[in-house]
Structure formats: C-alpha cells, structure tokens
C-alpha cells in the first residue's frame, strides 16, 4: 500500500498551523508564568510590609522593656536605702523615732 505524499503547499500550510498553535501555547504559558510571578510578588510585598511593622513593634517593645528594667533597678536601689526602710517601718508597723511626736486623728 502506498502512502500519499503531501505537496509542498499543503505541507507548508500544515507547518504554519502547527507553528501558530505552538506560538499560542508558548504565549499562554509565558502569560501564566507572568501572572503567577505577579501574584507572588504582591504576596511577598505584603509579607515584607507586615514584617517591617512587626519589627517596629518589637523594637518599641524592646525600648519599653529597657526603660522598665531601668525603673526596676532604680526601685531596687531605693528599696535598699535607709530612707525606704525608715518609711516602710513608719507606714507598715507604726514605728517612730525617739524624738518624734505622733499625732492621731480622731474619728
């Protein structure tokens, strides 16, 4: 059995059709890749913005905790002073010095 050979014009027409389909397919794939990259880029920008905001919040918290630590250290120093001990003794257990006069309120 003999196979038919295509003429040059038919073969060229067929090749052009396949070339067009191939170009359309490649164009579609490239467009899809661009869309995917665009979406990923938007998501990454959002994550970067969120992380920057989080970093600023954490930096502020670190600064606040540093101030709080200083306040605690100052309070600790004050609580070890004679002035604090004397004040606490007067307020909590009512101790007075020998030469002090105590006034009490009447109800």
12-32 per-position pLDDT tens digit: 778 888 899 999 999 999 999
Predicted confidence at residue 4, as pLDDT, reads 60
Residue 42 falls inside a structural domain: yes
Residue 65 falls inside a structural domain: yes
Predicted confidence at residue 17, as pLDDT, reads 83
Per the structure, the complete domain to which residue 50 belongs is given by 8-93
Number of independent structural domains in the chain: 1
- Maximum CA extent, the chain: 135
Residue 75 falls inside a structural domain: yes
The encoded tokens of residue 78 equal 């004050």
Whole-prediction pTM: 0.53
Residue 89 falls inside a structural domain: yes
Predicted confidence at residue 5, as pLDDT, reads 63
The encoded tokens of residue 37 equal 């990259």
Instruction: List, as one string, the DSSP characters of 52-93.
Output: HHHHHHHHHHHHHHHHHHHHHHHHHHHHTSHHHHHHHHHHHH
Predicted confidence at residue 31, as pLDDT, reads 98
The encoded tokens of residue 50 equal 């969120």
Residue 103 falls inside a structural domain: no
With a cut of 50, list the residues of the chain below it in pLDDT.
Answer: none
Residue 83 falls inside a structural domain: yes
Angle between the N-to-C axes of helices 82-93 and 8-79, in degrees from 0 to 180, rounded to the nearest 10:
80
Residue 73 falls inside a structural domain: yes
Question: Could you tell me which residues come within 8 angstroms of residue 6 by beta carbon, excluding any fewer than 6 positions away?
Answer: 14
């Amino acid at each position: 059995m003999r196979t038919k050979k295509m003429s040059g014009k038919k073969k060229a027409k067929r090749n052009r059709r396949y070339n067009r389909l191939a170009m359309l397919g490649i164009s579609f794939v490239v467009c899809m890749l661009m869309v995917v990259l665009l979406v990923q880029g938007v998501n990454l920008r959002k994550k970067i913005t969120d992380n920057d905001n989080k970093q600023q919040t954490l930096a502020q918290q670190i600064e606040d905790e540093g101030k709080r630590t200083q306040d605690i250290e100052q309070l600790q120093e004050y609580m070890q002073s004679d002035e604090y001990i004397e004040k606490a003794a007067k307020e909590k257990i009512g101790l007075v010095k020998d030469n002090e006069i105590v006034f009490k309120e009447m109800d």
